Amino acid sequence: MNIALLRRVRYPRLDRKVARGTHQICHQSVMQRVYIARVDVQKQWIVIANPTDGSVDLSGYIITSTDGRQTFRFPRKYILLSGDEVTVWCAPGSIELDTDNLLQPYLFWTMENGALRHIPFFTSTSNEAILLDSFMIEIASVRIDSNGNLSYRVRHSRSIKGMFVQAMHEVPRCLGFRMKTFKVQSTHTHLRWRILARRVYIFSRYWNIRSDISLWKHLGATFLAPILETIRLVSIRNVWVLVQDSERLLSSHLVLSLLLYALIILWCDWAARCLCLYIKSGILVSLLTFTSVLLDHVVNLVLFISMAILYPQHSTQLTRLWRLDIGISFLNLIASQVNVIRFRHKWPPMLIFISRWDYKLDGFICVNGIGRILLPFVLLLLPFDTQSGHFRWIGFSLIPSYTLALLVDFIRGVPGLIWWSQLRLSRRIH
């Protein structure tokens, strides 16, 4: 989930969809404590279930749409008991309630003034329900396509020092083929999974549910996404060649070429993410996303090398800036891979505050990320714009965006990594 949110240029709503694509339910998995059990588009209700052996406090949990405009907050101190379910009626003010579901625990979606909500949640433009925990971390979602097919996503959760629970179900099909070998840590002949008591559970309700996305779209996206990333790599290589031959080229031709390559790099980056939405394999989505993150840093390295060629008197400062940039990004990458999110129930208040505002300020992060990648291109154009001075003023205006984007990376990764290190150290001491 976290790799898709580590890109230098973040399109948060798109990247969250890509990250959600890695949560394909096509194998036996250890999952979260609560999940979206089922939905009904006609009756406009959503059922949240807790299949674990412990109660879950839903204070701060949110049900929202993809665009974030529709938000339902669970009441404070609302406890979902072990093995229980709760039905959230999304439009109780306009749709006749199903009497069968009223026999189960339910909640009404109300407006800020206390009136019953009458606007449908599931529409032709809003067809996805997302469940967020109190840390604004997406833990489950369900999407309904135009044919009524459902596509479920649930965040994976690992465990340590847990207990063994036996699972007797057969491994289902995944992407059209059957997984015959499934290596797990086991001391018995039966398939066993190590899970943490009262934290996670064996998720088996949605086995054999496949993605509703077309197989042809899956094959096409799997073929085209690497091609787009290759075009991005070739484009940044051409930028480096242009800078090397800048003394033999006309200024106007060089400026147009650099602007064209900048647009190609940004477009290929965005288009590759969109194609990931049509890939049915969560493993492939994770692999493509990780490759894209590495390619982001290759692009950044080539841009800094090109700037050092054009500004030899500032090569030392540029090298230090690149080291700072790559260092913060590397720490951010490590923080996302050491299971900081798994221990979020133990987070200090500062990390909770950062996580919530990181989710809310998605547009701000997107604008600064775009400014962060455009600033090096503007600096490459400065030596060839000696008359108008437009690129100089554009460069000055992008410096705050670059600084803020770098600060966002620092705030997202370093505090979490420090907290995780302290947690591990305290465990070893005790």
Please report, as a single letter, which amino acid is at residue 163: M
pLDDT, tens digit, 9 for 90 and up, residues 132-149: 888 888 888 888 877 777
Q: Which residues contact 204 (CB under 8 A, 6 or more apart)?
A: 28, 167, 169
Please report, as a single letter, which amino acid is at residue 239: V
CA distance 1 to 227: 23
Pick left, alpha or beta for residue 137 (phi over 0 → left; psi -120 to 50 → alpha; otherwise beta): beta
Confidence of residue 128 (pLDDT cuts 50, 70, 90): confident
Q: How crowded is residue 286: how many other Cβ atoms within 10 Å of its Cβ?
A: 19
What is the model's pLDDT at position 230?
A: 94
What is the model's pLDDT at position 94?
A: 77
What is the model's pLDDT at position 337?
A: 66
Q: Which of 18-27, 47-56, 89-98, 421-430 has the lowest mean pLDDT?
A: 18-27
Percentages of the chain per state (helix, strand, coil), in multiples of 5: 50, 15, 35
Q: What does the pLDDT average to over 7-36?
A: 70
What is the model's pLDDT at position 131?
A: 92
- Domain 26-157, architecture per CATH: Sandwich (2.60)
Average pLDDT of the chain? 76
Where exactly are the structural domains of the chain? 26-157, 215-429
Percentage of the chain modeled with pLDDT above 70: 78
Q: What does the pLDDT average to over 394-405?
A: 88
Of 281 and 3, more confident: 281
Residue 43 predicted with pLDDT over 80: yes
Q: Are 52 and 198 in contact (CB under 8 A)?
A: yes
Rounded to 5°, the CA angle 69-71-74 comes to: 175
Helix axes 362-381, 251-276, angle to 10 degrees: 150
What is the model's pLDDT at position 225?
A: 92
What is the model's pLDDT at position 160?
A: 38
CA distance 297 to 310: 20
Of 155 and 194, more confident: 155
Nearest partner of 179 among 189, 169, 193, 165, judged by Cα: 169
What is the model's pLDDT at position 93?
A: 79
Q: Which residues contact 151 (CB under 8 A, 6 or more apart)?
A: 142, 143, 144, 145, 209, 211, 212, 213
- List, as one string, the DSSP characters of 76-127: TT-EE-TT-EEEEES-TTTS---TTGGGS-EEE-B-TTSPBP-S-SS-SS--
To which H or E segment does residue 134 belong?
none
Rounded to 5°, the CA angle 17-22-26 comes to: 125
CA distance 430 to 418: 18
- Helix residue ranges, H only, 209-361: 215-244, 251-276, 282-310, 315-337, 349-360
What is the model's pLDDT at position 61?
A: 92
What is the model's pLDDT at position 152?
A: 76
Per mean pLDDT, which of 64-73, 167-176, 387-396 is the most reliable? 64-73
Considering the entire predicted model, what is its pTM?
0.67
Helix axes 349-360, 362-381, angle to 10 degrees: 70
Of 65 and 209, more confident: 65
The 8-class DSSP code of residue 182 comes to: -
Residue 420 predicted with pLDDT over 80: no
